[in-house]
């Protein structure tokens, strides 16, 4: 047999040696390598089924040197836990650490003038469900996952390398997202022949020129000391049964020190409370908080969210000082948060991430760390009154950026056109002294750089400003007690030139400094592989822009990536009809999805009795949804977008009457009883295990309100552990015999606990 390796987009057969197929075991995945380090098998160790895409295989580790991919020509084991890959001009030593359910791979030593270290891609034949962001591909029987374990290990593929890693064959937007394609930030990708799993680390020990998705060159770096090196690049690999993937992902996050936000003490990715609805208000102010809280509680909603404009309650974005709506200072905002809490709700605010407004001090003081793209030098002096200038290169004028803005010294200069004339580029239609800067004289040789402009026509911060924004946002949350924010516009941190890493510096950086790890809900405009752990959810959808069909598409993406269901932000008015709002709530119940109900205190208060009925409808539907009162058959009917429904409380919080309606609101057939199920563990028995072999199984309940699983009697077999957030049991049994034990599942909202006895037989 001949192994197949990737060669700059071409496939070349390489003879396999007698030492071929040396395995790396990661959970139930046996990743087989030939002696050149080429992946020649992706096998399910339980069944022997190989999930390697036919005729597609690449090196487990390769590098880019001088702009060209170089693959190893030899791999050898060093002790029990290291692989050493060698090739023309480089050596990469990888340390393997086997954990229960997964294995980590870390590049601990990298020799050579390496520009980029590439993991994979692993080419799989799995196509049923592609979790682009989470980096998990799965079908009905097997799931394979790759997770980046450091901010510098980007779960994606460098956009500059279209000729490597089948990048040109990876679908740009396989999930049909309206918000934006996510391929450039995704560890998993879909192809016409299967799927890929990949990651990389770029060397920033010196300045590097990265290209954004539009092809514009953006200089970034260097990073200080060890931070800039590719050594330390680290991933986790695993193979598991599909239903066990959340447990393995949870174990990876906790075991490898990744962000692990919780809701009511439970990991947010499995917590029903992560999909709870918000009341998003455009007139939430210190003088309306009490009224807003009353409206929220009438709807059974626990969070009120400030959206006074497109960017949030800020004087400027960048330094993010609170504006007058929340009192104009951290101290006043803290008082607003306390007022909300005293009235029984939590307070959240909108942000615009790394967008820097033109009246912010980063712009008015011309901070040198604002993101810039292509650069050129003035070939002639430029006087303060000139409207034409001459530069030595056309790099600043390459496409791929918003707007036409240059930075020369501390002056921001707009321009109309740039054309090459001989050895110079002539830039015409200069608009001097933009964004409050002053037109100035500039000498021959001074640098003109293209400014990276955000989609609101402001600036974007480079890495230093990104770090300061992360610190400021976390500081604001710590100082005030705010318990929710949205990272709207977070793609700006990538557009700075730093890609996935830029977003990770912002989101993960803020998470690490935020003292509120439980109950803090984050939303985002983009969901990347490097920020998946820190973020609670995406909730894409805008009033008047997003159709319900698109909402369903978005929820397919959420399910594929183990994210809470959400309807996005939907309009809510005090004069809305019950037929209208209950139609939306039924879709949410069918998808198990919450919503951001976008409204105002004035509209909801002005709705009178109708407004109160609308708010109560939200309360009834959301309570029933979150307590698991609807059957699977009912939820399937709710997903039929042609149906209409009315839900009436019979016993508050416990029982309802569900009536189907026609498009005019007339009853169809008899009403159905809807009731909260008595919590119970529905797993009847657990499979046997084998001593010294990986064991994975899971217990489950009949209610989404479960928040904690505990062993309350007896003990699991030695070597196994129960994941309290997911109900998964993972480990390697150390002794033969039979263990008997009791698992108790505890629920939220005052529901009783459920217990059941189990036994696991461990065979010799």
Q: Write the CATH number for 113.
A: 2.70.98
The residues facing 744 across adjacent strands are 710, 755
Say how far apart CA 572 and CA 582 lie, in whole Å: 11
Task: Name beta bridge partners: 453.
Answer: 402, 459
Among all chains, which residue has been given the structure tokens 């047999």? 1
**204-207: long-range contacts (C-beta < 8 A, 24 or more apart)?**
204/228, 205/229
Based on the domain organization, do 75 and 173 belong to the same domain?
yes
Q: Which residues pair with 731 in a beta bridge?
A: 695, 720
468 backbone dihedrals φ, ψ, rounded to 5°: -70, -35
In this structure, are 629 and 735 located in the same domain?
no
CA–CA separation, 434 and 447 (whole Å):
17
CATH code (residue 592): 3.20.20.70
Residue 77 lies in a domain: yes
564 and 627 together in one domain: yes
Q: How far apart are CA 709 and CA 729, in angstroms?
A: 11
Residues 311 and 447 in one domain: no
Residue 74 bridge partners (DSSP): 86
Nearest 10 degrees: CA dihedral of 9, 37, 98, 116? -50
DSSP bridge partners of 197? 122, 188
Judgement on whether residues 743 and 627 belong to the same structural domain of the protein: no
- For residue 378, what are its two tokens? 């003035």
261 belongs to a structural domain:
no
Of the residues 619, 653, 675, which one is the last residue of a structural domain? Answer: 675
Tokens coding 508 = 């993960």
For residue 470, give both structure tokens: 């992360």
Residue 531 placed within a domain: yes
Give Cβ neighbours of residue 242 (< 8 Å, ≥ 6 apart). Answer: 129, 138, 139, 140, 141, 142, 143
Identify whether 19 is part of a domain: yes
Grouping H, G, I as helix, E, B as strand and the rest as coil, residue 448 is: strand
Distance CA 632, CA 508 (A): 37
User: What Rg do the C-alpha atoms of the chain give, in angstroms?
Assistant: 28
Q: Quick check: bond before 83 cis, omega within 30?
A: no
pLDDT at 23: 86
Element (H, E) at 558: helix 548-560
447-451/372-377 β-pairing: antiparallel
| pLDDT value of residue 10 | 30
Could you tell me if 142 and 272 lie in one domain?
no
CA atoms within 13 A on the CB side of 589: 35
Domain count, the chain: 4
User: Within this chain, do residues 278 and 412 fall inside the same structural domain, yes or no?
Assistant: no
The Cβ of residue 432 has, within 10 Å, a number of other Cβ atoms equal to: 19
The domain boundary, picked from 256, 288, 319, lies at 256
In this structure, what token pair is assigned to residue 23? 């395995």
Question: CATH number, domain at 717?
Answer: 2.60.40.10
Residue 14 is predicted with a pLDDT of: 40
Does 713 share its domain with 657? no
Pairing mode, if any, of strands 431-434 and 266-267? unpaired
Residue 104 maps to a domain:
yes
- Give the end of a domain, one of 195, 224, 256: 256
Residue 671 covered by a domain? yes
Same-domain check for residues 186 and 322: no
Give domain status of residue 361, yes or no: no
Of 202, 198, 197, nearest in space to 231 by CA: 202
What stretches of 352-482 adopt beta strand conformation (E)?
355-356, 372-377, 389-391, 405-408, 411-414, 417-421, 424-428, 431-434, 447-451, 459-460
Residue 706: domain span = 689-763
Q: Do 134 and 198 have their domain in common?
A: yes
pLDDT of residue 702: 98
For residues 56 and 160, state if they share a domain.
Answer: yes
Task: Output the six-digit token pair for 233.
Answer: 């690049």
CA distance 395 to 193: 37
HSE value, Cβ hemisphere, 13 Å, CA-based, for 76? 6
737-747 sheet: strands from edge to edge:
689-690, 754-763, 737-747, 706-714
CA-CA distance, 298 to 194, in Å (whole number)?
A: 49
Within a domain: 459: no
Taking alpha carbons only, the member of 113, 186, 213 closest to residue 561 is: 186
Q: Residues 6 or more apart from 17 whose CB is under 8 A from it?
A: 34, 35
- pLDDT per 10-residue tile (average), the chain, 764 residues: 30 38 89 97 98 96 98 95 98 98 99 98 99 99 99 97 96 97 98 99 98 94 97 99 99 99 98 99 98 99 98 99 98 99 99 98 98 98 99 98 98 99 98 98 99 98 99 99 98 96 99 98 98 98 93 98 98 97 99 98 97 98 99 99 98 98 98 98 99 99 98 99 99 98 97 99 98
DSSP 367: -
Q: Are residues 377 and 429 in the same domain?
A: yes
């Amino acid at each position: 047999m001949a192994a197949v390796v990737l060669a700059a987009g071409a496939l070349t057969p390489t003879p396999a040696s007698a030492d071929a197929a040396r395995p790396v075991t990661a959970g139930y995945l046996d990743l087989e390598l030939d002696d050149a380090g080429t992946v020649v098998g992706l096998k399910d160790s339980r069944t022997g089924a190989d999930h390697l895409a036919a005729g597609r295989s690449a090196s487990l580790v390769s590098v880019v040197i001088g702009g060209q991919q170089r693959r190893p020509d030899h791999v050898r084991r060093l002790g029990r836990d290291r692989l050493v890959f060698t090739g023309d001009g480089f050596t990469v030593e990888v340390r393997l650490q086997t954990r229960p359910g997964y294995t980590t791979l870390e590049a601990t030593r990298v020799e050579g003038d390496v520009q980029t270290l590439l993991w994979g891609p692993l080419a799989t034949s799995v196509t049923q469900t592609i979790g682009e962001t989470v980096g998990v591909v799965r079908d009905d029987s097997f799931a394979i996952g790759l997770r980046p374990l450091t901010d510098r290990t980007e779960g994606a593929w460098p956009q500059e390398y279209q000729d490597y890693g089948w990048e040109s064959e990876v679908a740009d937007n396989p999930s049909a997202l309206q918000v934006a394609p996510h391929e450039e930030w995704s560890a998993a990708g879909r192809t016409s022949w299967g799927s890929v799993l990949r990651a990389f680390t770029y060397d920033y020990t010196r300045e590097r020129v990265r290209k954004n998705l539009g092809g514009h060159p953006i200089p970034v770096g260097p990073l200080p000391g060890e931070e800039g090196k590719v050594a330390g690049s680290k991933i986790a690999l695993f193979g598991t049964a599909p239903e066990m993937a959340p447990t393995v992902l949870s174990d990876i996050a906790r075991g490898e020190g990744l962000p692990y936000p919780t809701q009511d003490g439970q990991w947010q990715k499995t917590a029903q409370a992560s999909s709870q609805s918000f009341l998003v208000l455009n007139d939430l102010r210190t003088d309306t908080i009490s009224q807003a809280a009353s409206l929220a509680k009438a709807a059974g909603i626990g969070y009120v969210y400030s959206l006074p404009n497109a960017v949030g309650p800020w004087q400027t974005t960048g330094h993010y000082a609170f504006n007058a709506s929340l009192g104009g200072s951290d101290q006043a905002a803290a008082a607003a948060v306390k007022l909300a809490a005293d009235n029984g709700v939590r307070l959240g605010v909108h942000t615009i991430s790394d967008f820097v407004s033109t009246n912010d001090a980063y712009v008015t003081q011309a901070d040198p760390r604002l993101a810039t793209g292509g650069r050129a030098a003035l070939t002639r002096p430029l006087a303060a009154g000139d409207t034409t200038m001459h530069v030595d290169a056309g790099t600043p004028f390459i496409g791929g950026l918003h707007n036409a803005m240059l930075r020369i010294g501390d002056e921001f200069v707009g321009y109309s056109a740039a054309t090459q004339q001989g050895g110079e580029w002539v830039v015409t239609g200069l608009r001097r002294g933009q964004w409050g800067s002053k037109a100035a004289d500039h000498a021959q040789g001074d640098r003109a750089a293209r400014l990276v402009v955000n989609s609101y026509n402001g600036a974007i911060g480079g890495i230093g400003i990104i770090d300061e924004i992360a610190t400021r946002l976390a500081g604001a949350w710590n100082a005030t007690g705010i318990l929710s924010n949205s990272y709207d516009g977070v793609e700006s941190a990538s557009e700075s030139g730093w890609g996935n890493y830029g977003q990770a510096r912002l989101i993960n950086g803020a998470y690490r400094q935020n003292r509120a790890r439980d109950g803090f809900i984050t939303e985002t405009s983009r969901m990347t592989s490097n920020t998946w752990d820190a973020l609670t959810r995406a909730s894409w959808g805008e009033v008047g822009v997003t159709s319900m069909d698109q909402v369903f598409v978005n929820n397919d993406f959420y399910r594929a990536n183990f994210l809470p269901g959400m309807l996005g932000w939907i309009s809510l008015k005090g004069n809305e009809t019950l037929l209208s709002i209950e139609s939306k709530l039924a879709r949410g119940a069918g998808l198990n999805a919450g919503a951001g109900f976008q409204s105002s205190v004035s509209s909801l208060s002005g709705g009178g009795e109708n407004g109160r009925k609308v708010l109560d409808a939200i309360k009834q539907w959301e309570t029933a949804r979150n307590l698991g009162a609807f059957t699977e058959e009912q939820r399937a009917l709710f997903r039929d977008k042609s149906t209409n429904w009315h839900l009436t409380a019979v016993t508050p919080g416990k029982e309802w009457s569900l009536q189907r309606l026609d498009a005019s609101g007339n009853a169809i057939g008899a009403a159905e009883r809807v009731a909260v199920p008595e919590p119970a563990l529905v797993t009847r028995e657990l499979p046997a295990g084998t001593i010294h072999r990986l064991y994975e199984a899971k217990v489950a309940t009949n209610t989404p309100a479960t928040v904690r699983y505990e062993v309350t009697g007896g003990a699991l077999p030695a070597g196994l552990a129960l994941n309290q957030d997911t109900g998964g049991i993972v480990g390697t049994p150390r002794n033969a015999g039979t263990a008997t034990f009791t698992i108790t599942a505890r629920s939220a909202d005052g529901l009783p606990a459920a217990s059941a006895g189990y036994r696991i037989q461990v065979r010799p």
